[in-house]
Every structure is written in structure tokens, then in C-alpha cells.
Amino acid sequence: MNEFGILTNRKRALIALAHSLVFLGIAMHGFTSPKAGVLLQGFGATADIILILIYLVVASILAWLVSVSRCAKERVYFALCASSATFGLLRTIFGDAALPAAQYLRVIMLTSAVVLGARIFRSFSRPVTENVLSD
């Protein structure tokens, strides 16, 4: 089955790709700002608690999108995005010292999502060819 359930048209695919690119930029910025983690700092930082709540909501929504996706490309795309958000959540909670691979995995997952998202977008950009039988 190659029918999309969520990314059903070119506009939706472009919006998803744009989001992936923005979050890839944010993830790349994460290399310059190491995270200490909430468990090491304590729960005093309000910004970290808000960031944890944002990651929880985003990861939950993306996991739900994985479950309602129809075709494999779409499911893999949302799974890559969901795993990236989950690594961001874990990085915020535990910090870079406890999970040094989290920031790398986050960038790898988002880079893969951008590549796949571009392929999905291009699939809507191709002209439809019709098979016409000549007499």
C-alpha cells in the first residue's frame, strides 16, 4: 500500500519538510549549547520544565502520527521525527554527560527525516503520466 494517510498532498508534505528543517537547525544548535540535565540541576529551572513538557507533547503527537500513518514511507518519516523528539526529551532530563549519544542521534534522525521528507515532497511534484494505447 503506497497511499499516504496524513501527507496526502504537496502542501502538507512541504509543511512537514519545513518543520523538519527548522528542528534540524535547532538540533544542530544543540551542539554549541551542552545540556546539564534536569536531574543534575534539580527541578528549579522553569525553562527546563517547560521544555520537557513541550518535548512530551511533541513526541506523543508524533508517536500518534506513526500509528495512524498508512504507507511505510510516511510511517518511517514520523518515526524518525518522534525518535528525534524523544532523544531531545532524554537529553533535557538526563543531560549530555549521561547520554552523550543523544545529541548525535537526534541530528541523525532529523537529517534522515529531511531526506525522506524531501523524497515524499518530490513524489507529489512529479507529473502524472497516463498510459494511452495507440490504435
pLDDT digits (tens, 9 = 90+) for 55-88: 999 999 999 999 999 999 999 999 999 999 999 9
- Which burial class, exposed, middle or buried, applies to 100 when counting CB atoms under 10 A from its CB (0-12, 13-18, 19+)? exposed
Give residue 135's pLDDT. 46
Q: Which amino acid is at 20?
A: S
C-alpha cell at 58: 511533541
Alpha helices, DSSP H only, in the chain?
10-29, 38-41, 46-68, 72-94, 102-125
What is the reported pTM? 0.86
